[in-house]
Amino acid sequence: MDKKLIFSGIQPTGTFTLGNYIGAVRNWGPLQDEYNCIYCVVDLHAITVKQEPAKLRKNTLDAYALLMACGIDTEKSILFIQSHVKTHAELNWVLGCSTQFGELSRMTQFKDKSKRHADDVNSGLFTYPVLMAADILAYNADLVPVGVDQKQHLELARNIAQRFNQRYGELFTVPEPYIAEIGAKVMSLQDPTKKMSKSDDNPNACILILDDKDTVIRKFKRAVTDSEAEVCYREGKDGINNLMTIYSSVTGKSFDEITSEFAGKGYGDFKLAVGETVADHLAPIRSEFDRLIQDKAYLKKCYTEGAEKAQRYSQRIVSKAYHKVGFVDKA
Ligand code: TYM
């Protein structure tokens, strides 16, 4: 039987957060053995909020190298930069004409971002989920590994696929979300009721995966917890629950095992253990990133080949979509 196809993407907004890593990227490498995988640095999505061009270019290359450092193997998977493959923007237009204003208005991420960037509520920010649907449907992906925050966008992509298929005849695979059981929503270290995000004003809220060991430990030491002293996973203990989730996903230990490990010890010991374990886990990624980012020629070879493969793959599907809607065939 043919292997199922996985597609996912990440925005090039500087280094990834521990949330990006645990909720998404860390799972992408292991999936390569079981599935055909296509991964993408979504620079077209990034410009829905203001970007400084030189910084975007640097961040995009960094993100590409970082994905490789996190275990994406360009021999096994297709890894490319979104703006290099024109089918995404081409399909975006067609799908936009099958998406309702009302549906896009209900997207919580649009509501949040338009509040945060009130001086620039551009139409790209509004139609962002249509481009995301195009990313996925252009490859007829079966599964999309993402964190919980992308679930609503994925449901919209499914609706768009179904609507197109009903209107024009079967073409698109209706994609399924692939969400990790543990760590699909890593929370802020400073306000554990909010998701960990780079856009947080407080730098201690968020671990970046290229943070050095001391920084990682310091941020965990400052993590907000509660006034009890028991390391256990329980409703109302948002800070500790978050630290347990992080520790569990890095060590593979269950919550019960963690509770026994820290029985009789204080939060200070627990926070230090989480900090050290996470920092040690991230260390090889940091050194592999440092090595890869020096080798611009190799990176260029990888992203050029990745784009060629992605273009070839998606062109077949997007050409069929163009034909189905009634555009005259080009050749
Ligand atoms: P982005 O770049 O915001 O995030 C990349 C991935 O990281 C996950 N994530 C988290 N998971 C757990 N806890 C957190 N605190 C956390 N923060 C982020 C996200 O769920 C995501 O999986 N729109 C997407 C990028 C995209 C995409 C796609 C994804 C564009 N096209 C097609 C899948 C398929 C985004 O902005 O992700």
Please say if 50 is a catalytic residue: no
Tell me which of 58, 151, 185, 198 is the catalytic residue.
198
> Are 256 and 304 contained in the same domain?
no
Residue 303 inside a domain? The answer is yes
C-alpha to C-alpha distance for 128 and 117, rounded to whole angstroms = 15
C-alpha to C-alpha distance for 128 and 148, rounded to whole angstroms = 17
Question: How many folded domains does the chain comprise?
Answer: 2
From atom 26 of ligand 1, which residue's Cα is the shortest distance away? 9
Q: Is residue 148 within 8 Å of 187, Cβ to Cβ?
A: no
Taking the CB of residue 97, how many other CB atoms lie within 10 A of it? 9
Please say if 113 is a catalytic residue: yes
> Are 21 and 164 contained in the same domain?
yes
Could you read off the pLDDT tens digit of each residue along the chain, which spans 331 residues?
689 999 999 999 888 999 999 999 999 999 999 999 999 999 999 999 999 999 999 999 999 999 999 999 999 999 999 999 999 999 999 999 999 999 999 999 999 999 999 999 999 999 999 999 999 999 999 999 999 999 999 999 999 999 999 999 999 999 999 999 889 999 999 999 999 998 888 999 999 999 999 999 999 999 999 999 899 999 999 999 999 999 999 999 999 999 999 999 999 999 999 999 999 999 999 999 999 999 999 999 999 999 999 999 999 999 999 999 999 998 7
Domain encompassing residue 14: 5-184+296-325
Residue 198 inside a domain? The answer is no
pTM above 0.85, yes or no: yes
> Are 305 and 263 contained in the same domain?
no
List the one residue out of 242, 244, 251 whose CA is nearest residue 190.
242
Lining residues, ligand 1, CB within 6 Å: 7-11, 19-20, 23-24, 42, 45, 132, 135-136, 144, 146-147, 149-150, 153, 184-186, 195-196
Q: Which atom of ligand 1 is nearest to the CA of 21?
A: 7
Q: Phi and psi dihedrals of 268, rounded to 5?
A: -60, -45
CATH number at residue 261: 1.10.240.10
C-alpha to C-alpha distance for 329 and 20, rounded to whole angstroms = 41
List the one residue out of 80, 82, 15 whose CA is nearest residue 45.
82
Q: Which atom of ligand 1 is nearest to the CA of 131?
A: 31
From atom 36 of ligand 1, which residue's Cα is the shortest distance away? 11
Residue 241 inside a domain? The answer is yes
Q: Which atom of ligand 1 is nearest to the CA of 13?
A: 2
> Are 241 and 273 contained in the same domain?
yes
